[in-house]
Amino acid sequence: MLEHLNFDNSFDKLGSDFATRVNPRPLVNPKLVCVDSNTCELLGISKDNVCSENGVNMFSGNKVPPQFAPLAMVYAGHQFGGYSSQLGDGRGLLLGELNTHSGKYDLHLKGAGKTPYSRFGDGYAVLRSCIREYLAGIAMRGLGIPTSHALCIVRGDNAVTRETIEPAATLTRVARSHIRFGSFEYFYYTQQHTQLEQLADYAVEQYIPEYAGKDGRFNALLHYTTEQTAKLIAAWQAVGFCHGVMNTDNMSIIGETLDYGPYGFMEAYNPTHICNHSDTYGRYAYDQQPSIGLWNLNALAAALSPLINRDQARASLESYEGMLTKEYNSRMAKKLGFLFAKQGDAKLINAMFIQLEQLQLDYTLFFRQLALAKADDLQSSFIQPLLGCNNIAKGEQLAAWAAEYLTRRQVEDVPQATITADMNSHNPIYCLRNYFAQQAIDEAYQQGTYSTLEKLAVVLADPFTSHPNASEFETPPPSKLANIAVSCSS
């Protein structure tokens, strides 16, 4: 059945300057780990087909049907601020572009073996990193944030050396684009300006076809990427997502979250939180993400410079901060249960962040609990669930802020039940805490079973609704296990 899917391998048609044809390396004794039903639905393929022997073979690199055109895409990128002149798909392949009822999606096989761009890498992905990417895609989609998705994970008997020996796996990534800021940087810095233009034209045709063939289309592309990136990073900040490696080779040209490595979600609030263990100087700390987004867009503009009007490009880049702030404010207003912006809100929100930081409150739980706060009983409706009973001085400080907040919220004269329901639809109960992801990984590694993974996937797919059978995922782990930094090795 899967062989009858409708592929349109348009990137392949760009030719060998853009990618190298490589066949995937098979996994030894491939076994299915998990399949995401929502991604199956997105693609219009049946879960049974993915789970079949044929499906497992296709999504482990063991079988390459003629509709696939496996490609390693070339790109470069600024990594931690320094330019790397050639990166590219070193352990992943674009299998093909699938036409679906909801548009065209790239199928990308992560862990598909060595390619000409592997440099010193082995081309493998380990099961741990596949599980983390799988869960991240589900969590971000559940939160309504643009993201790549994972169709399935297959593990093999191949052993891979990282800090320890780990099982190899493949993850089939589904994304609307795998073109990165760094894809343009590669052609710009190698002075291949004809190919640069070809790639830019391709991106215009694919993602903003209304500009195809028109004057000013490359400025339109930069503007589109700027807008999508601003909105994406505003969404990350609002939910407390920390990407961890915002190198230009990990930035999607269409503003989808791509390349999940050592990411994290904010737990005890700390604006300078660094989720990537290797990020010594905090270049990609949570509070740096908006400005790094702009830095990366400047790098993209530099790469597109032979094609674009400079003044217009500058205007696009200058509009980034306003677009990001607007989107962020709108998301925060929804989280706080405000219908419209009011003078004084910024002061109230700043005071809230001071409380969150000083009291080390859990970012996700705080907002969910805030929806339940009652003016006549702040202690048991709000303070105690967040701080416990023994923190009287801290509780008073937080109560003073909450009283002010409730007075502001009442201005809009909306019934409490409506406010609570609205806030609950914007503030998740569940968050992909690294501690939970690690529990799923430990079970997979130690027992070869995936019940934590499956259960976590269910709540993350629908994080705003209570799942009574999964109450263990509602509360943060003990404080020493919160906000853990994760290493890059994957």
Please report, as ranges, the residues that interact with ligand AMP according to CB under 6 A.
87-91, 117-118, 121-124, 245, 250, 259, 261
Taking residue 60's Cβ as centre, other Cβ atoms within 10 Å add up to 29
405 contact, one of Mg ion, ligand AMP, none, CB 5-8 Å limit per kind: none
170 is an interface residue for Mg ion by CB under 5 A? no
Pairing of strands 71-73, 19-21: antiparallel
Q: Which residue carries 């609704």 as its tokens?
A: 465
**Residue nearest to Mg ion as judged by C-beta position:** 259
Residue 90 marked ligand-binding: yes
Name the 3-class secondary structure at 31. Answer: strand
| Residues 490, 398: Cα–Cα separation, whole Å | 41
- Run of H or E residues at 79: strand 77-79
Q: Taking CB under 5 A as the rule, which mask of x and - marks residues 196-235 in contact with Mg ion?
A: ----------------------------------------
**Residue nearest to ligand AMP as judged by C-beta position:** 121
Residue closer to ligand AMP, measured from CB, 3 or 157: 157
Residue closer to Mg ion, measured from CB, 130 or 398: 130
Nearest-approach distance from CB 75 to ligand AMP, in angstroms: 7
261 contact, one of ligand AMP, Mg ion, none, CB 5-8 Å limit per kind: ligand AMP
Q: Which residues pair with 108 in a beta bridge?
A: 94, 173
| C-beta separation of 77 from 181 below 8 A | yes
Residue 388 marked ligand-binding: no
User: DSSP labels for 263-303?
Assistant: -EE--B--TT---BTT-TT-TT-GGGHHHHHHHHHHHHHHH
The one-letter amino acid code at 286 reads: Y
Which one, of 167, 262, 285, lies nearest residue 488 by Cα?
262
Q: Which residues pair with 169 in a beta bridge?
A: 125, 155
Residue closer to ligand AMP, measured from CB, 88 or 395: 88
| Residue 243 phi, psi (nearest 5) | -75, -45
Nearest-approach distance from CB 22 to ligand AMP, in angstroms: 12
> Buried b vs exposed e over 284-314: b needs ≥16 C-beta within 10 Å?
bbbebbbebbbebbbbbbebbeebbeeeebe
Q: Which residues contact 123 (CB under 8 A, 6 or more apart)?
A: 25, 90, 91, 111, 112, 113, 114, 115
Among 166, 185, 259, 362, binds Mg ion (CB under 5 A): 259
Residue 173 marked ligand-binding: yes
Residue closer to ligand AMP, measured from CB, 161 or 451: 161
> Buried b vs exposed e over 441-464: b needs ≥16 C-beta within 10 Å?
bebbeeeeebebbebbbbbbbebe
Of the residues 106, 249, 279, 362, which is catalytic? 249
Residue 462 marked ligand-binding: no
Residue 88 marked ligand-binding: yes
123 contact, one of ligand AMP, Mg ion, none, CB 5-8 Å limit per kind: ligand AMP
Residue 331 marked ligand-binding: no
250 is an interface residue for Mg ion by CB under 5 A? yes
87 contact, one of Mg ion, ligand AMP, none, CB 5-8 Å limit per kind: ligand AMP
Residue closer to ligand AMP, measured from CB, 121 or 306: 121
Give catalytic status of residue 442 as yes or no. Answer: no
185 is an interface residue for Mg ion by CB under 5 A? no
Residue closer to ligand AMP, measured from CB, 204 or 246: 246
Site stretch for Mg ion (CB under 5 A), options 231-239, 259-267, 350-358, 469-477: 259-267
| Residues 423, 425: Cα–Cα separation, whole Å | 5
| Residues 75, 173: Cα–Cα separation, whole Å | 18
Residue 8 marked ligand-binding: no
Question: Which residues sit in the known binding site for ATP?
Answer: 88, 90-91, 110, 122-123, 173, 180, 259
- By annotation, the residues acting in catalysis are 249
Binding residues (CB under 5 A) for Mg ion: these are: 250, 259
User: Where is the binding site for Mg(2+), in residues?
Assistant: 250, 259
